[in-house]
Amino acid sequence: MTIIFDYPLIIALIGASFIGVSSGIISCYAVLKEQSLLGDAIAHAALPGICIAFLITLSKSPGILISGALAAGFLGMLLITTIIRKSILKEDTALGIILSVFFGIGTLLLTIIQKIPTARQAGLDTYLFGNAASILYEDLKIIVILTISICFFTILFWKEFKAIIFDSDHTQTQGFPVFKIELILTTLMVVAIIIGLQTVGVILMSALIIAPAIAAKQWFKRFAPVMVLSIIFSVTSCILGVLLSSSINHLPSGPTIVIFISGFVLISLLFSPRGIISSKINEYINNNSIRAESILSNLYLLAKTHKDHTHPHDINTLNVLGGIPTQKLLVKLKKDGLIYQKESNLWGLTNNGIEKAIQILQRVH
Amino acid sequence: MDPTNIALSIKDLTVAFGKKPVLWDIDLDIPKGALTAIVGPNGAGKSTLLKSALGILKPTAGRVDVFGQPLTRQRSQIAYIPQRNSVDWDFPTNVLDVVLMGTYSDLGWFKRPGKKEQARAMEALKKVSMQDFSNRQISQLSGGQQQRVFLARALVQNAAIYIMDEPFVGVDAVTEKAIISLLKELRDQQKTVIVVHHDLQTIEDYFDWICLLNVRQIAFGKIQDTFTDENLRLTYSGHHSFIPQSHR
The CA-atom distances, in angstroms, between B31 and each of B6, B45, B207 are 5, 21, 12
Determine what percent of chain B falls in helix, strand and coil, rounding each to the nearest 5: 40, 25, 30
Contact A155, A35 (CB under 8 A): no
Which phi and psi angles does A345 have, rounded to 5°? -115, -5
Contact A160, B107 (CB under 8 A): no
The CA-atom distances, in angstroms, between B229 and each of A222, B200, B216, B218, B223 are 51, 11, 18, 12, 12
CB contact under 8 A, A170 and B101: yes
- Rounded to the nearest 10 degrees, the angle between the axes of helix A276-303 and helix A351-364 is 110
pLDDT for A304-358, tens place per residue?
888 888 888 887 877 777 677 778 888 888 888 888 888 777 888 888 888 888 8
Q: What is the ipTM of this complex?
A: 0.91
Chain B residues close to A171, C-beta within 8 Å: 101, 104
**What number of C-beta contacts closer than 8 Å exist between A and B?**
76
Which phi and psi angles does A307 have, rounded to 5°? -65, -45
CB contact under 8 A, B97 and A165: no
Per-residue pLDDT of chain B (248 residues; tens, 9 = 90+): 677 788 999 999 999 887 888 899 999 999 999 999 999 988 888 999 999 999 888 899 999 999 989 888 888 899 999 999 999 999 999 999 999 999 999 998 988 999 999 999 999 999 999 999 999 999 999 999 999 999 999 999 999 999 999 999 888 888 899 999 999 999 999 999 999 998 888 999 999 999 999 989 989 999 898 888 888 888 888 666 666 665 55
Residue B151 identity: L
B107 touching A, CB under 8 A? yes
Chain B residues close to A172, C-beta within 8 Å: 54-56
B87 touching A, CB under 8 A? yes
What is the C-alpha end-to-end distance of chain A, expressed in Å?
Answer: 68
For residue B55, the SS3 value is coil
Contact A209, A192 (CB under 8 A): yes
- Mind telling me how many Å the CA of A176 is from chain B's nearest CA? 8
Compute the average pLDDT of residues A153-160.
96
pLDDT for A272-306, tens place per residue?
988 889 889 988 888 888 888 888 888 888 888 88
B78 touching A, CB under 8 A? yes
B73 touching A, CB under 8 A? no
H or E stretch including B243?
none
DSSP state of A326: P
Minimum-distance CB partner of B56 among A156, A159, A173: A173
Q: Distance between CA atoms of A161 and A182, rounded to whole angstroms? A: 8
Tell me which of A170, A178, A230 to substitute to probe the interface with B (most B C-beta atoms closer than 10 Å).
A170
Inform me whether the pLDDT recorded for A152 exceeds 90: yes
Q: Distance between CA atoms of B62 and A324, rounded to whole angstroms? A: 72
Annotate A71-97 with three-state secondary structure. Answer: HHHHHHHHHHHHHHHHCCCCHHHHHHH
Residues recorded for chain A: 365
B110 touching A, CB under 8 A? yes
CB contact under 8 A, B137 and A162: no
Tell me which of B91, B95, B161, B164 to substitute to probe the interface with A (most A C-beta atoms closer than 10 Å).
B91
Cβ of A160: how many Cβ atoms within 10 Å? 21
For residue B213, the SS3 value is strand
Tell me which of A88, A159, A173 to substitute to probe the interface with B (most B C-beta atoms closer than 10 Å).
A173
- Mind telling me how many Å the CA of A212 is from chain B's nearest CA? 15
What is the C-alpha end-to-end distance of chain B, expressed in Å?
Answer: 31
- Concatenated DSSP letters of A238-300: HHHHHHHHHHSTT--HHHHHHHHHHHHHHHHHHHSTTSHHHHHHHHHHHHHHHHHHHHHHHHH
Minimum-distance CB partner of A173 among B75, B88, B107: B75
Inform me whether the pLDDT recorded for A119 exceeds 80: no
Please, which pLDDT band fits residue A210 given cuts at 50, 70 and 90? very high
B121 touching A, CB under 8 A? no
A274 touching B, CB under 8 A? no
pTM for the full predicted model: 0.86
Strand ranges, E, within chain A = 313-314, 339-342, 346-349
